[in-house]
């Protein structure tokens, strides 16, 4: 007997028939003798609808009441799934985040989990063999006793945090794909499903554009060593595919040099020309951006021939591009730049793999291959297990296919 957490996203619970399909997946695990907690998202499209209602009610609305409204989507799904399970003869009950409780900080709309008390769910496992159907995406800020929500993708985080709290043997994240692929199959038809991916690789993939899992959920899984499977809810519940296991690097016997290629279109480039090359200039640029919660990624500094000025190029999320420009223009006198140039038609393409640690020249091969395809690299950033290049958006598919083939990811 094992203890499992099963998480189902919005497309998996989009209507009653799909909820019945989810229930059949749950029944399979219950019939196998496992103790099961299920974490559910709102039905597909419902959260967007609720957000729209809040904005229609008032352009500037109370974030606490916003959370009270948008958290209701998961409550509906949890109740419906519990009803369907009960109709199948399975003892089940729904739990809202505050009933467990899932404790968070007070950052409404983007709260972070600070603790989960899984004791009551474990008690119900032991005494009643009851399936717990838990609302994802939400918790409670105990000092104010207010409902909070965790931001987009927060149900993944809820599931992993709950798995850690109840000491689950594994956490199965069910979605509309049957695992983690070497890259987006819509761009590279030869992309392959990976049997296993390390926590570190998945964290990089998630942060660099792969949409399979939310970044925070992978961080929690790595911190608490929660073995996590990505599986498809659209598989036959009686004969599901194994999916992809996300686990500790030590649990992967054979490592490839490069595991996957990710890309992010949510990028914008900013270049400050002829900035005075003196101490304090970098702080004058990046501190105001940090204070505005604008994340800066790639940074390149090029000193001019006279060594008195420099050009600084960096990237920010596309959604923050105009805000970043406004902040920098206001600080023009303090920074002392001559001109500000920007571009939003750029894409970040990344190669990820723990095998890079022990192999030299991995990135150099990519630079050569991209050059041979006529793809200009605007910026480069590297870490121990990944490198990223910023290129013109028009070359996205060509770059992804080139790198996918270069590192042999097309081959079974």
Helix (H, G, I), strand (E, B) or coil at 253: coil
76 is in an annotated binding site: no
- Could you tell me the two tokens for 389? 């290049």
- Largest Cα–Cα separation, the chain: 80
The DSSP output letter for 356 is: G
Distance CA 105, CA 100 (A): 16
Q: Check the annotation: does 7 bind a ligand.
A: yes
Task: Report which DSSP code applies to 319.
Answer: G
Q: Is 252 helix (H, G, I), strand (E, B) or coil?
A: coil
- The reply to whether 156 sits in an annotated binding site is no
Does 211 carry a binding-site annotation? yes
Asked if residue 181 belongs to a known ligand binding site, the reply is yes
- 212 marked as part of a ligand binding site: yes
Question: Is residue 136 annotated as involved in ligand binding?
Answer: no
Please give, one letter per residue, the 3-state secondary structure of 362-373: HHHHHHHHHHHC
The contacts of residue 293 (CB under 8 Å, 6+ apart) are: none
Please tell me whether residue 98 adopts helix, strand or coil conformation.
helix
Q: Is 8 annotated as a binding residue?
A: yes
Residue 125 known to bind ligand:
no
Q: What is the 3-state secondary structure (H, E, C) of 6-68?
A: EEECHHHHCCHHHHHHHHHHHHHHHHCCCEEEEEECCCCCHHHHHHHHHHHHCCCCCHHHHHH
Alpha helices in 249-361 (DSSP H): 281-291, 321-330, 332-335
Annotated binding site for ATP: 7-10, 175-176, 181, 186, 211-212
Annotated binding site: 7-10, 47, 74, 175-176, 181, 186, 211-212
Annotated binding site for substrate: 47, 74
């Amino acid at each position: 007997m094992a203890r499992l957490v099963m998480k189902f996203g919005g497309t998996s619970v989009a209507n009653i028939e799909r909820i019945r399909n989810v229930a059949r997946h749950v029944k399979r695990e219950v019939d196998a003798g496992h103790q099961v907690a299920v974490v559910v998202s709102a039905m597909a499209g419902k959260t967007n609808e609720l957000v729209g209602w809040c904005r229609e009610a008032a352009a500037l609305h109370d974030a606490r009441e916003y959370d009270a409204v948008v958290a209701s989507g998961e409550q509906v799904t949890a109740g419906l799934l519990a009803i369907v399970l009960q109709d199948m003869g399975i003892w089940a009950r729904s739990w809202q985040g505050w009933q467990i409780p899932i404790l968070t900080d007070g950052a409404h709309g983007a709260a972070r989990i600070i603790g989960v008390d899984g004791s009551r769910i474990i008690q119900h496992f032991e005494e009643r063999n009851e399936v717990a159907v838990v609302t994802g995406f939400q918790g409670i800020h105990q000092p104010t006793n207010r409902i909070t929500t965790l931001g987009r993708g927060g149900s993944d985080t809820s599931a992993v945090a709950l798995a850690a709290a109840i000491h689950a043997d594994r956490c199965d994240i069910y979605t509309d794909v049957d695992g983690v692929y070497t890259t987006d199959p819509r761009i590279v038809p030869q992309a392959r499903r990976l049997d296993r991916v390390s926590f570190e690789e998945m964290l990089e993939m998630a942060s660099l554009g792969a949409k399979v899992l939310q970044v925070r959920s992978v961080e929690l899984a790595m911190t608490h060593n929660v073995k996590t499977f990505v599986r498809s809810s659209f598989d036959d519940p009686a004969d599901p595919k194994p999916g992809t296991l996300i686990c500790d690097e030590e649990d992967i016997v054979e490592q490839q040099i490069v595991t996957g290629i990710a890309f992010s279109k949510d990028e914008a480039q900013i270049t400050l020309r002829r900035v005075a090359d003196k101490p304090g200039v970098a702080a004058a640029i990046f501190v105001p951006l940090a204070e505005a919660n604008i994340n800066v990624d790639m940074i390149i500094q090029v000193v001019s021939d006279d060594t008195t000025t420099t050009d600084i190029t960096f990237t920010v999320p596309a959604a923050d591009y105009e805000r970043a420009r406004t902040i920098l223009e206001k600080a023009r006198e303090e920074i002392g730049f001559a001109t500000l140039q920007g571009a939003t038609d750029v894409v970040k393409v990344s190669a990820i793999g723990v095998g890079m640690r022990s192999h030299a020249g991995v990135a150099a091969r990519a630079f050569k291959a991209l050059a041979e395809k006529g793809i200009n690299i605007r910026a480069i950033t590297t870490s121990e297990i990944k490198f990223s290049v910023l290129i013109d958006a028009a070359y996205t598919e060509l770059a992804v296919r080139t790198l996918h083939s270069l590192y042999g990811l097309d081959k079974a």
